[in-house]
Amino acid sequence: MMISSNKHAKDRSLRSARYLLLSAFCLLLTAYCFLPSASNGQDTPANNWSQFRGNHSLTGVSQSAVPGTLKQLWTFEAGDSIESSAAIVGGTVFVVSQKGELVALSLDNGAVYWKYPTGSPIGESSPAFDNGVVYIGDLGGVLHAVNASDGRKLWSFKAGNDIKSSPVVVGDRVLIGSYDQHLYCLSTRNGSVIWKFRSEGPVHSTPSVAGGIAYFAGCDEVFHAVRLSDGKEAFNVSSGAYTGASPALRDGAAFYGTFNNEVLMVKLAERRVGWRYQHPQRKFPFYSSAAVLNDRVVVGGRDKLVHGLNKMGKAVWTFATRARVESSPAIAGGRVFVGSNDGRFYVLNLANGAKLWEFNAGAPLSASPAIANGRIVIGSQDGRLYCFG
């Protein structure tokens, strides 16, 4: 009888152990299934476009479902040229202009919630939203932190020269480049300097961030990788040319154009240039920042073309506009959305570059589109902000 009791107890113990192991495995499997894929982690959620290019990887890709047939929903008169991308968070649009104002608008109808005066014009710096705060740099060299709910100033930081770079918020830190040749890492709490990294030229580029490293392509002709933890350079790669574009990160590589009329792919693990693309006939700089998804790299050129490359750096298609393309393309639902200095907003097929739709704004569109909640927002140099959906 004693032996039988021990046997039953042992069987119950084994069954309990198997149950616990099976439960643990199921929990791990469930957690794994809900982890974002590497691809999705480099794309922008459907309801937010919280910074320049949408996300820390600067891929310019949105998961938002944009209507197949677009129509103009509303416009907003900013009062001066809009040259940067808007931020969209939930139902609010944050946009800036040369007038020196940060404006919060309703995504639904363009109604103004509040306006914040920066005191200096704002050029190509795009607003970034994080944790209830909007950050924006101006041409007076000041980075502003503004309460997103009411437009109240929280703090400001003065760099030594113009800010045309866009802020990027990572945890409790905000990164910003300045024409004083520094990339700054500031505390989001009060704007105090945590570290600053000096390059040998103006920092026009917006940094992309992955794996604790900030990447930016400089006016010093160097692609820099700087550690977020302490501001020390992890490595650098020679671009061979002045760079105004910001690097997009995808699948362990960085993609960006230069003023030497090239688009580069840098292999981050190998710390070297993987390929260089140049149009065989038209030799013009690439100022636009690339959008990257799957086997397609899309970038505007000052040669009046939008270029669609594959991940090997070979041209798959080009689309001709009537003026230089400084707007950085955005991708959603198999389509490319991009402005041109010819005053038109274009929608192209991502696979083959065929034109699907265009809108004539009547003024240059050097600003970049923002996409969220099925809507697209883009500003023009005559001060109009357009919303399509």
- Give the CA angle between residues 160, 166, 168 to the nearest 5°: 105
Give the model's pLDDT for residue 41.
53
CA 292 – CA 298 distance, rounded (Å): 6
pLDDT for 48 beyond 90: yes
Q: How confident is the model at residue 38 (pLDDT cuts 50, 70, 90)?
A: very low
Task: Look up the pTM and report it.
Answer: 0.89
Q: Do the beta carbons of residue 136 and residue 96 sit within 8 Å?
A: yes
pLDDT for 279 beyond 90: yes
Give the model's pLDDT for residue 123.
98
**CA distances from residue 130 to 74, 127, 137, 172 in whole angstroms, order as listed:** 26, 10, 15, 10
CA 184 – CA 114 distance, rounded (Å): 28
Q: Do the beta carbons of residue 273 and residue 266 sit within 8 Å?
A: yes
Q: Do the beta carbons of residue 200 and residue 236 sit within 8 Å?
A: no
CA 168 – CA 203 distance, rounded (Å): 14
Give the model's pLDDT for residue 29.
30
**CA distances from residue 136 to 92, 141, 210, 286, 321 in whole angstroms, order as listed:** 16, 10, 22, 24, 31
For the chain, the three-class secondary structure string (H helix, E strand, C coil) is CHHHHHHHHHHHHHHHHHHHHHHHHHHHHHHHHCCCCHHHHCCECCCEECCCCCCCCCCCEECCCCCCCCCEEEEEECCCCCCCCCEEECCEEEEECCCCEEEEEECCCCCEEEEEECCCCCCCCCCEEECCEEEEECCCCEEEEEECCCCCEEEEEECCCCCCCCCEEECCEEEEECCCCEEEEEECCCCCEEEEEECCCCCCCCCEEECCEEEEECCCCEEEEEECCCCCEEEEEECCCCCCCCCEEECCEEEEECCCCCEEEEECCCCEEEEEECCCCCCCCCCCCCEEECCEEEEECCCCEEEEECCCCCEEEEEECCCCCCCCCEEECCEEEEECCCCEEEEEECCCCCEEEEEECCCCCCCCCEEECCEEEEECCCCEEEEEC
pLDDT digits (tens, 9 = 90+) for 65-91: 999 999 999 999 999 999 999 999 999
CA 308 – CA 286 distance, rounded (Å): 13
pLDDT digits (tens, 9 = 90+) for 207-232: 999 999 999 998 999 999 999 999 99
Share of the chain above pLDDT 70, in %: 89
pLDDT digits (tens, 9 = 90+) for 112-126: 999 999 999 999 999
Give the model's pLDDT for residue 20.
33
